[in-house]
Structure 1
């Protein structure tokens, strides 16, 4: 699915939120690896489950053609600095929901880019009769959890000792959902 481009200005940083395009694929491949190495809030370590330029082109093509998927990027001066995806199901029993995921380069934290990606995704979901948006967040990522709660997400469950981090400790994953049921 494609959405209209939106321009944002936060703390003197101007950025665009827009649908991903095939021309973004190379940058997305590089940005994803960099983000995975900058934080343990992601599922992967740097370089794991690598997606190359061709792989991202295919994901963008599929998401653009699917009414249940949305792939957004955040762009600063022509550079992709973050992205989000909503991925739905073709199965009838699950077609009412999507799973949301987001990531932003650490250099660009604090500019509301993650919030803007979330807002655009939720507006898209509401406009397209998506009844439920789900996401996973690490228990230690309190800033993200507060943001999600502010936008109507509630805790649906906890996956205990779900992620092993570099400190040798296991951390819980919080499952959250936002419902838009009539």
Structure 2
């Protein structure tokens, strides 16, 4: 689905939250690769499950044509700073729920970009009747967990020793859900 853009400002920077466009595909591929290398909060290491520009173009086309999916970008004057994606389900027994994921370049942490992407996604989901929004978050990502809780997400399950990070230790993945009231 495509939504109108919204301009946001915080801590001296201005950005627009808008639907991804086909012309974003190449930059999205590069941004995702950078995000994967900046933190271990993501599932992938740099280059794993690489999506090239053609792959992103296909995702953008699919999401733009689906009433159950939403692909947003946060664009600054210097380019895309982050993105989020909501993927719904076409199976009738699961049309009430969707999965949410977000990534923001480290240079743009602290500007409310993740918060705005989440807020816009939840507004959209509420408007189309999504009753349950799911996401996965690494247990050590305290800032993200705190943000999600502020928006009504709660822990639904814990996947124990789900990820092994560079320190050689295993970490839990928390499955959080928000139920529309």
The TM-score, its normalising length taken from structure 2, stands at 0.99
Equivalent pairs counted in the alignment come to 181
Query: What per-residue deviation string (whole Å, max 9, x for no partner) do you get for residues 120-156 of structure 1?
Result: 0000001111111000000000110010000000000
The SS at the match of 1:174 is strand
Q: Distance in 2 between matches of 1:78 and 1:106?
A: 14
Inter-partner Cα distance in structure 2 for 1:81 and 1:180: 29
C-alpha distance in structure 1 between counterparts of 2:139 and 2:152, whole Å: 18
After the TM superposition, which segments of 4 or more aligned residues of structure 1 sit over 4 Å from their partners? none
- Write the distance in 2 (CA, Å) between the matches of 1:142 and 1:179: 21
Secondary structure at 2:54 match in 1: helix
Alignment of 1:131-142 (within 5 A): 131-142=131-142
- Give unpaired runs (5+ residues) of structure 1: none
Deviation at 1:112, TM superposition (A): 0.3
Superimposed CA distance per residue, residues 13-57 of structure 1 (whole angstroms, 9 cap, x where no aligned partner): 000000000000000000000000000000000110000000000
2:107 matched to 1:107?
Answer: yes
Aligned twin of 1:119:
119
CA distances 1:49-108 after superposition (whole Å, capped 9, x unpaired): 000000000000000001100000000015011000000111111111110000000000
Paired with 1:65 and 1:45, the residues of 2 have a C-alpha distance of: 30
Partner in structure 1 of residue 14 of structure 2: 14
Structure 1 vs Structure 2 CA RMSD: 0.6
Written as runs of structure 1 = structure 2, the 5 A alignment for 1:51-62 is 51-62=51-62
* Structure 1 counterpart of 2:66: 66
Aligned to 1:81: 81
What is the correspondence of 1:100-179 to structure 2 with a 5 Å cutoff? 100-179=100-179
Residues of 1 paired with 2:4 and 2:126: CA distance?
Answer: 15
> What is the distance in 2 between the residues matched to 1:22 and 1:132?
29
Q: Name the CA distance, whole Å, in 1 between partners of 2:58 and 2:149.
A: 33
